[in-house]
Amino acid sequence: RLGPLGDAERDAILVDLVAGHAAAVLGLPDTTDLGPARAFREVGFDSMTAVALRNRLRAATGATLPASVVFDYPTPLALARHLSTLLAPDGATATTGLLAELEKVDGLFAAGAPDELTRRKLLVQMQAFLARWGDDRSAPEQAPVTRSLDGASDAELFDFIHRELGGPGGEF
């Protein structure tokens, strides 16, 4: 049934499937509280309900899923996209899997906000990733911050660290 559908249609059907089974596991009358980007933990999932949802989805789709599936794919959309990669018709590309993994990362961010220092570290790492995979990968260019720090004095470097990451008395 999913084979001839486009990605958006397939995602919508699978999000409805995941949300419907999640609502049933939680004893909810409908899926109103289960938005596509709402974390399963926010609506009350724990290890027991995670296993129950996994079992229901396995029965509905035939897909083999780990007991930790709602923690690995923490939102209905992330889980739906993972199911899509498992149920994809022949000829599906690896791109679908990569997009599902990015959705998983997005879901992890939605599930819990990191502290400020962790958020900044993640931002730097993600910016480096985007710089490597940007539109013009043939001509890698240093990020503006890197260029401006290349010729910085020790005092300028310490000032930058203090501004960006906090200094004495701040989180470091």
pLDDT per residue over 103-133, tens digit each?
777 777 767 777 888 878 888 888 887 887 7
Q: How many CB atoms lie within 10 A of CB 111?
A: 16
- 90-106 pLDDT, tens digit each: 545 445 556 667 777 77
* Count of C-beta atoms within a 10 Å radius of residue 19: 24
Q: What pLDDT score was predicted for residue 170?
A: 45
Rounded to an integer, what distance in angstroms lies between the CA atom of residue 10 and that of residue 47? Answer: 27
Asked if 12 and 19 touch (Cβ cutoff 8 Å), the reply is no
**Mean per-residue pLDDT for 15-37?**
90
Q: What is the largest CA-CA distance in the chain?
A: 63
What global pTM score does this model have? 0.53
Range of lowest pLDDT (2-11, 45-54, 72-81, 158-167) = 158-167
Q: Please indicate, yes or no, whether residues 38 and 95 belong to a single structural domain of this protein.
A: yes
* 129-147 pLDDT tens trace: 788 777 655 444 545 555 5
102 and 40 belong to one structural domain: yes
- For residue 43, tell me if it sits in a domain: yes
Last residue of a domain, one of 111, 130, 145: 111
166 falls in which pLDDT band (50, 70, 90)? low
Domain count, the chain: 2
Residue written as token pair 């909810």: 28
Q: What is the pLDDT of residue 142?
A: 47
Question: What is residue 131's three-state secondary structure?
Answer: helix
Q: Has residue 85 been placed in a domain?
A: yes
* pLDDT tens-digit series, residues 38-81: 999 999 999 899 999 999 999 988 888 988 888 999 999 999 98
pLDDT of res. 100: 66
Question: Side-chain half-sphere of 150: how many Cα atoms within 13 Å?
Answer: 6
Mean pLDDT of the chain: 77
Q: Which domain holds residue 129?
A: 116-165
Whether residue 65 lies inside any domain: the answer is yes
